Structure 1
C-alpha cells in the first residue's frame, strides 16, 4: 500500500514566499491606482473656476437649487448604471464565466481610470483582476475594445440629433441620426467586421474575440438609452438657468453625447477636461447667452464628476465585497466537502 509523501519543506516555503510576493505586488498596484485616482480628482477640482456656478446658484431659490442638483445627479447616475449593463452584456457574451458582480469590479476600475492622468496606470490592475478570474489579457482587451467602440458609435449617433437645434431647418439630421443604429441592429456583425478592417488598415493583429449578434444588440440598446437619459441632466440644468425648454432639448440631450465622446478621445486629460466643456459651449450658445451657458457647463461637469465618483467608487466597493463573499463561501464549501 502506497502512502502520500509529505510536501518538502523547501518547496512549501518557496510556494508561501511566492504567494507573499504576489499579495504584496497586488497591494502595491492597488495603492498606486488609488493615489493616481486621488491626484486626478484633485487636479480636476483645482483646474476649474467654480465662481460662475456659485453666482448662478445665488440667483436661484435654495430649495430649487437642491432639487435640481439632486435630480441631475440621479439622472446621470442611472445613465451610468445603464452603461454598466451594456458592458456586462459584452463581457458575458464573450465567454467570461463569472457572476455579474465579479464582472462589475473590472468595469468600475476601468471606469474610474478616466480620472487618472494618462489612464494607463489602471492597466496592471485590470490585468491582475482578469487573471484572478481566468480572463486573459486578449479577451479582456477585446471586451474593452468592443465596449469602447459601442460607446463611441452610439454616442456619435445620438449626437447627430443635435443638428436641428444647432442648424434650424436641418430636420434631415434626425433621420441620419437613426440610420447607423438601425444598420447595427440589422447587421450586428458589421461591428466585428469593422474592427477587423480597422486592424488591417493600421497593420495590427485583428481582435481575437468577436461578440454575438444578441450581445451586440443588447449592448447597443442599453448604451444608447444611457446616452439619451444622461443628457437630460444637462437639459434640466439649462432650463433652470433660463434656456427655452423645446429649443434646448436636442441641443442638450444630444450635445452632451457629442461632448462626452470628444472628451473620451483625449486620453491625456482626466475625463477629457476642457474638451467636453468647449464642445458643450458650441451648442448651448445657440439657445442661451454665453454668460449663462458658462455656469451651466461647469455645473454639468460638477454633476457628472460627483455622480461618477459616487457610482464608480460605491459600485467598486460593493462589487468587491460581494466578490470576496462569494469566494469565501466557495472556499468554505470546498473545505466542508
Structure 2
C-alpha cells in the first residue's frame, strides 16, 4: 500500500513540475516581441540563417553537456554513491527549474528525489550551492576577456581574466573558504559540505569549457547579422557568460528574462546597430531556450528511463512444465 501511495505522490509531484515548467515557457514566449527578428530574417539569406540557427543550437547544446559534467563532478565528489543516470535526474530537474516562475516550485521534487536515493537535503543543497559558485566564478572570469574589445585593445584584460581561474585551480580550497566567509558575512550557518581539490578542479575545468563553447553561438548569430568577426568575438563569447550569470542571479524572473538581454545589448551595440543587435539578442534567447529544453527534457526522460531500469528488479518468469 505504501508503494502505491509513493508512486501516486511521485506522479503528482512530476505533473505539478511539468505544469509549472510549461507555464514558465509560455510566459517566456509571450513576453517577447518577435517582430524585429522577422524583419531582420527577411533581409538575410534564408539558407544562411537556417544553417546559422542549426549550428547555434548544436553549439549551445554541447556547452550545456559540459555544464552537466561540471555538476556531476561535484555531486560524485561529495559522496553521493549513485550511478550517473540517477545523478543526471537531479541535475536536469534543477536545470529545468530555472524556467519556472520563482524556481522554488521544483524544491519539493528535488527533495523527494534526493530522499529516494538517500541523499539528504544538506548534501543536496551543498551540491547546488557549490555548483552555483563554480558557475558564477568561472562565468565572471570568462566575462573579463571582453575587456580588450570593449576597452580599445586593452590586452592586459586577457591576463587579468586568467588569474582567478589559475588561482582556483592551484588553490581549490579557496572556494570552500570563500563560501564559509560569505556565510559568516551574511550571518548564516557555514556550509556543512565541502568539495575536494580534485572535484573542484574537474568542475572548474568543465564549466570554463562550457562557457567558452556556449558563447560561440552568440558570435555566430552576430556575424551572420553583419558584425565584424574579429572585433565581435570576445564581446560575444565573453559577454554571453557575463549576461547569463547576471540572469541566473535574478530569482524572480524565469531564466533571468530581461536581465540577460540588457547585459548582452551593452556589448552588442558596440559592434552592431541597435536595430540589428535587438533581434540578435532575441534569437540568442530563443536558441538557448530551445537547446536547453531539448537537452534538459530529453536528458531527463532518458535519465528517468535508465534510473527505473536499473532500480527495478528484473522480473523472471519460471518456465512452464
Which TM-score band (shorter chain)? over 0.9
Residue 304 of structure 1 is matched in structure 2 by 288
CA distance 1:334–1:144, change in 2 (3 Å)? farther
CA distance 1:216–1:335, change in 2 (3 Å)? farther
Say how many residue pairs are matched. Answer: 318
**Structure 2: which 5+ runs fail to align?**
none
SS at match of 2:104: coil
Residue 50 of structure 1 is matched in structure 2 by 34
**Where do 1:53-72 residues align within 5 Å?**
53-72=37-56
SS at match of 1:332: coil
Residue 178 of structure 1 is matched in structure 2 by 162
Which one of the candidate residues 101, 125, 128 is aligned to 1:117?
101
Residue 315 of structure 1 is matched in structure 2 by 299
Residue 189 of structure 1 is matched in structure 2 by 173
1:143 correspondence with 2:127: yes
Q: In structure 1, what is the Cα distance between the partners aligned to 2:88 and 2:99?
A: 18
Residue 248 of structure 1 is matched in structure 2 by 232
Residue 314 of structure 2 is matched in structure 1 by 332
Q: In structure 1, what is the Cα distance between the partners aligned to 2:145 and 2:316?
A: 55
Shift in Å, 1:333: 8.3
1:234 correspondence with 2:218: yes
CA distance 1:42–1:243, change in 2 (3 Å)? same
Q: In structure 2, what is the Cα distance between the partners aligned to 1:166 and 1:95?
A: 43
Q: In structure 2, what is the Cα distance between the partners aligned to 1:150 and 1:130?
A: 22
Q: In structure 2, what is the Cα distance between the partners aligned to 1:193 and 1:290?
A: 43
* 1:16-51 deviation per Cα after TM superposition (whole angstroms, max 9, x unaligned): 2x4333332222211111111000000000000111
Shift in Å, 1:335: 11
Q: In structure 2, what is the Cα distance between the partners aligned to 1:312 and 1:335?
A: 36
SS at match of 2:119: coil
The runs of at least 4 aligned residues of structure 1 exceeding 4 Å deviation read 333-336
* 1:254-290 deviation per Cα after TM superposition (whole angstroms, max 9, x unaligned): 0000000000000100000000000000000111111
Q: In structure 1, what is the Cα distance between the partners aligned to 2:94 and 2:317?
A: 34
Larger radius of gyration between Structure 1 and Structure 2: 1
TM-score by length of 1: 0.92
Q: In structure 2, what is the Cα distance between the partners aligned to 1:89 and 1:320?
A: 20
Q: In structure 2, what is the Cα distance between the partners aligned to 1:55 and 1:303?
A: 18
Residue 97 of structure 1 is matched in structure 2 by 81
Residue 288 of structure 1 is matched in structure 2 by 272
Residue 71 of structure 2 is matched in structure 1 by 87
Q: In structure 1, what is the Cα distance between the partners aligned to 2:283 and 2:29?
A: 12
Residue 10 of structure 1 is matched in structure 2 by none
Q: In structure 1, what is the Cα distance between the partners aligned to 2:179 and 2:225?
A: 42
